[in-house]
């Protein structure tokens, strides 16, 4: 999913702060990262650029289906992406997806941060990864 606007401000483990423009988001199922060797059901990657347009980093958020546990905001956000309606063709219209409102509900105090690369070609290096510690439950 490509973005048409908006900004993110991130504070990294070393205290450095930077503003970014989200470029696109995508999902991996199961998660690309693991915690103590365990994959989660879903991992969202928000790829973002520095304000000058150069590639900046990726924000990763885990999602996991937990029977009997729901996060209405996470469910509403995932539902707004209309996965059930998606067709494997570029240009599928999603309508309104409110990433900012969803992110405002996600705890961001605990995270892992490291310098790495993109995991898909061109596998660009020098990417700041920030992966949130708090797993978002889904029904």
pLDDT tens-digit readout, 23-69 = 888 899 999 999 999 999 999 999 988 888 888 889 999 999 886 77
Residues 106-139: tens digit of each pLDDT: 998 899 989 999 888 888 898 989 999 999 988 7
Would you state the structure tokens that stand for residue 49, as one six-digit string?
């650029």
CA distance 118 to 30: 17
The predicted structure's pLDDT at residue 43: 96
For the chain, what are the domain ranges? 8-138
Instruction: Give the DSSP H or E segment for 10.
Output: strand 8-11
Highest CATH level, class, for 8-138: alpha beta
Question: pTM score, two decimals?
Answer: 0.85
Distance in angstroms (rounded) separating the CA atoms of residues 51 and 22: 10
pLDDT tens sequence across 68-77: 777 777 788 8
pLDDT at 13: 67
Q: What is the pLDDT of residue 66?
A: 80
């Amino acid at each position: 999913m490509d973005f048409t606007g908006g900004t993110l401000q991130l504070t990294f483990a070393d205290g450095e702060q930077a503003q970014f423009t989200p470029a696109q988001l995508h999902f991996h199922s199961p998660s690309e990262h693991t915690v103590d060797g365990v994959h989660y059901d879903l991992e969202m990657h928000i790829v973002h650029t520095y304000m000058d347009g150069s590639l900046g980093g990726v924000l990763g958020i885990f999602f996991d289906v937990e029977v009997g546990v729901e996060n209405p905001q996470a469910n509403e956000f995932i539902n707004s992406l209309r996965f059930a309606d998606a067709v494997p063709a570029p240009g599928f219209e999603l309508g309104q997806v409110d990433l900012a409102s969803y992110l405002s509900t996600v705890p961001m105090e605990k995270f892992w941060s490291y310098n790495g690369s993109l995991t898909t070609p061109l596998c660009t290096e020098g990417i700041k990864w920030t992966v949130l510690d708090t797993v978002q439950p889904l029904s």
